[in-house]
Structure 1
Amino acid sequence: MVMQGDSDINLKGLRRKKKKMVDNRNRRPWSELPDALLYMITKLLGTIDYLMFGCVCRAWRLYAVANRQEFMASQPPLSCCFYNIFDGRKYKAKLPNVVGKICCRISYGYLVVEDQIDAVNSQIWLINPFTRHELRVLSPPLEHNRVILASLETPLSKFVIIAFRRYGSYLPFCRSTYADWTHSVYKRKLYAITTRAGIGVVNLNSCPYVTPLEVKSIPNLKGGLWLRGTDEQLLLINAIGNNHEVYELNLLKMEWVKMQNFGDQALFLDYYEGGLGFSNKTRWKDSERPFNGRYCFDRDNTDIWFHFMDGRPDQSFPFMGRKCMPNTFRFKPSWYFPHESCNVDLSLKSQD
């Protein structure tokens, strides 16, 4: 019998003999992973994780940039405080110093931030809270209460910043390639509606003008009107209290057609027009949230309601666990669509 500690067997030597040599010659580096595998990896990622994924190596960064639009479109819209309504995850974005500023709206995935006190050097500040791209321009010389972004379909990526007042007769704008307010040539057409659902095309040329479209009117139209353009549709949303009617413009017949069914889509609305848009359910990842209807916040911002198009009873679920929403920028809850910022991001990158 051999007592512990008295053995003359070289245990250390035995361990060395059992150690296997690993041959790394047949292993491929991370940068050479096939696109099919990278696709499987990115399907498991959220918005922030996807941006970090592009920082691993050059090959992954190229893949992330090439597929960014498709990936961002697959992400469900976030509320302005970056709360994912499908999986409950919260996102915190480190923003620059915003003391003395107010976030007035969201446009093309950018926060539109303005100085609270008007001054000679007041600025409009556009911030992408995820990529941290930003652009600052001096506030327009004329009074305004709305600022929006519009991406330009030109050979070079550009976008235009438009400031306007609801009942004003002027339309100051500036282009991304020259951050100053001007009235120079822009051939991009913008659709606009009147308070009575008249629609026209705004041409931003040296002498801006509106070309009315001969569209059949909608009888008995009441309440607020919103115009929303998607890749394939031009929509008119008529808000009457808590009810919303959605019309699609039929360009062949030049008439508004009331939508009775959204199919695989859902409409996201808020009471303050800060965020509204369609999102396709087929792009949502592993979500059991309903579709073919509209999502909106309640008046107290504690719940999100879903109204079915087929007449089923409405559903609701708590927003952020019904915790009080932080009074960041004094901004009401709104919807944030991550993919909408992609075109503007490319424009800003091309100017760096």
Structure 2
Amino acid sequence: MVNHLIVGRRSSPFSSSSTMVDWSKLPYDLVVSIANQLFEVEDFLSFSTVCRCWRLVYLKKHWIPNHHIPWLMLGEYTEGDVSIRQFLSLTRFKIYKFPLPEANGCRCWGTSHGWIVTLSQSFAIRLVNPLTRACLDLPHHSMLRSQGDIEVDWFAAIQKAVVLKVRDDFVTMVIYRYNRCLSFAKYGDGAWTVVPFSNLVYLVNIVCFKDRVLVLTMVGTLILIEMEGPDGPRARCIASPPGDERGWENMYLVESSESLLLVLHYNHRSTHRFKVYKFDIFKRKWMAAVDLGNNVLLIDNYGCTSVSACGSIKPNCIYFAQDNLGSSVVPQQELKMIVFNIKDNRTDVQRLNASSFYDCPVWTTPALR
């Protein structure tokens, strides 16, 4: 009966009709059990405000959700003098607004670990949790400021930033200098570590697969980054690009159900389509894939995330959040999602019945850490 009262009412789990119940008297193990039946992070936020006893579940981080569905971070605007960031929950088709002055005026990249990576106009790089507003300062990246004798526009200083979990350590990696350089830092490092390459490469994507860091070049070559060793980090090519593929607009690496996938994004006259390849570890070759099972790929301009389908999110599909940079400066637009069915090779446009300011939307997984 308790589970029904709390979990069954998704829009408002704790209504005024429950005020006569002394929820703080429930055994702690039962409270944890109730918390772990909540599906969305916003439900758990409401749950944690019921009473001090229930908030302990949050403080002790005993909430283990069954699904981690990323939110789509949209644009920035101000209410009065407060900087607001907007986040779209795809499972609820609802936009949440959070004050986030810590990311005011910054360029942002989403991650799968609760953080967003921010780059400010002073070239400061930080990890920011949009829910808790916790911040972790990373080393200043002095190498970002110039390309030889040419000063670099701060907005274009980093092409891509990711946070990877490598053997229980969180590592931030950045691709910079127009896709030609790669460096990484752990929290607490005093400087960034540069990864040397023997040949000139143009990097487009980074992923951690089975505790190995892999990067993808613009021509589709797969490179293993060995981060530790007596001679420091080094890069080693392990696979060639798939087949005779040409003409893609973007390429992504992603781990999905313990498989490494390569996703090619094609855009011809605003018609979007995708091809997916699975990496054969033993043959070191890419094999065409048409079935992701119950998985879904969420893609933005910078990265790709794999999650399990749930609710209205369809399995074996790609959800692509297109940028809005072709319009005037951060206009208010109707939000649209490109939905590509991998098996049927069919593209649909899903209108989200909401308008918001956005420019480069990024997927990020909310976490209360």
Same fold (TM over 0.5): yes
Q: Given that residues 106 and 112 in structure 1 are in contact (C-alpha distance below 8 angstroms), is that contact kept between their aligned partners in structure 2?
A: yes
Paired residue for 2:109? 105
- Deviation of residue 167 (structure 1)? 5.0
Alpha-carbon separation, structure 2, partners of 1:314 and 1:332:
21
SS in 2 for 1:160: strand
Q: Given that residues 159 and 176 in structure 1 are in contact (C-alpha distance below 8 angstroms), is that contact kept between their aligned partners in structure 2?
A: yes
Q: Tell me if 1:276 matches 2:304.
A: yes
Q: Tell me if 1:311 matches 2:344.
A: yes
Alpha-carbon separation, structure 2, partners of 1:332 and 1:167:
18
The one-character-per-residue Cα deviations of 1:118-174 (angstroms, maximum 9, x if unpaired) are 4xxx411211111322112342111241332222314xxx32222332656543322
SS in 1 for 2:42: helix
Residues 132, 31 of structure 1: CA spacing in aligned structure 2 closer, same or farther, 3 A cutoff?
Answer: farther
One-letter code of the match for 1:176? Y
Alpha-carbon separation, structure 2, partners of 1:302 and 1:148:
25
Output aligned runs, 1:325-336, within 5 Å: 325-327=356-358, 331-336=359-364
SS in 1 for 2:192: strand
Alpha-carbon separation, structure 2, partners of 1:268 and 1:138:
30
Q: Given that residues 31 and 59 in structure 1 are in contact (C-alpha distance below 8 angstroms), is that contact kept between their aligned partners in structure 2?
A: no
Q: Given that residues 254 and 306 in structure 2 are in contact (C-alpha distance below 8 angstroms), is that contact kept between their aligned partners in structure 1?
A: no
Range with bigger deviation, 103-112 or 306-315 = 306-315
SS in 1 for 2:163: strand
Alpha-carbon separation, structure 2, partners of 1:104 and 1:53:
29
Whichever structure has more helix as a proportion of its residues is 1
Alpha-carbon separation, structure 1, partners of 2:316 and 2:132:
31
Q: Given that residues 268 and 276 in structure 1 are in contact (C-alpha distance below 8 angstroms), is that contact kept between their aligned partners in structure 2?
A: yes
Alpha-carbon separation, structure 2, partners of 1:28 and 1:133:
29
Paired residue for 1:293? 317
Paired residue for 2:5? none
- Deviation of residue 299 (structure 1)? 6.2
Alpha-carbon separation, structure 2, partners of 1:260 and 1:251:
18
Range with bigger deviation, 90-99 or 122-131 = 90-99
Q: Which runs of 5+ in 2 are unaligned?
A: 1-21, 74-85, 145-156, 196-210, 325-333
Alpha-carbon separation, structure 2, partners of 1:313 and 1:212:
34
Paired residue for 1:202? 225
- Deviation of residue 201 (structure 1)? 1.0
One-letter code of the match for 1:153? R
Paired residue for 2:27? 32
One-letter code of the match for 2:357? P
Residues 32, 203 of structure 1: CA spacing in aligned structure 2 closer, same or farther, 3 A cutoff?
Answer: same
Q: Which of 259, 273, 283 does residue 243 from structure 1 map onto? A: 273
Q: Which of 221, 227, 237 does residue 212 from structure 1 map onto? A: 237
Q: Tell me if 1:161 matches 2:172.
A: yes
Whichever structure has more strand as a proportion of its residues is 2
Q: Given that residues 78 and 335 in structure 1 are in contact (C-alpha distance below 8 angstroms), is that contact kept between their aligned partners in structure 2?
A: yes
Paired residue for 2:132? 131
Higher relative contact order (CA 8 A, sep 6+): 1
Paired residue for 2:56? 61
Q: Given that residues 31 and 60 in structure 1 are in contact (C-alpha distance below 8 angstroms), is that contact kept between their aligned partners in structure 2?
A: no
Q: Which runs of 5+ in 1 are unaligned?
A: 1-26, 346-352
Alpha-carbon separation, structure 2, partners of 1:326 and 1:61:
36
Larger radius of gyration: 1
Alpha-carbon separation, structure 1, partners of 2:189 and 2:118:
19
SS in 2 for 1:91: strand
Paired residue for 2:87? 82
SS in 2 for 1:92: strand
Alpha-carbon separation, structure 1, partners of 2:119 and 2:23:
50
Q: Given that residues 228 and 236 in structure 1 are in contact (C-alpha distance below 8 angstroms), is that contact kept between their aligned partners in structure 2?
A: yes
TM-score, normalised to structure 1, is: 0.70
Paired residue for 1:225? 251
SS in 2 for 1:291: coil
Alpha-carbon separation, structure 2, partners of 1:66 and 1:231:
25
Q: Given that residues 183 and 194 in structure 2 are in contact (C-alpha distance below 8 angstroms), is that contact kept between their aligned partners in structure 1?
A: yes
- Deviation of residue 244 (structure 1)? 1.0
Q: Given that residues 35 and 47 in structure 2 are in contact (C-alpha distance below 8 angstroms), is that contact kept between their aligned partners in structure 1?
A: no
One-letter code of the match for 2:166? L
SS in 2 for 1:82: strand
Paired residue for 2:293? 263
TM-score, normalised to structure 2, is: 0.67
The one-character-per-residue Cα deviations of 1:21-58 (angstroms, maximum 9, x if unpaired) are xxxxxx995351543x6434553463133145346445
Alpha-carbon separation, structure 2, partners of 1:43 and 1:168:
43
Q: Report percent identity of matched pairs.
A: 17
SS in 1 for 2:318: strand
SS in 1 for 2:191: strand
One-letter code of the match for 1:211? R
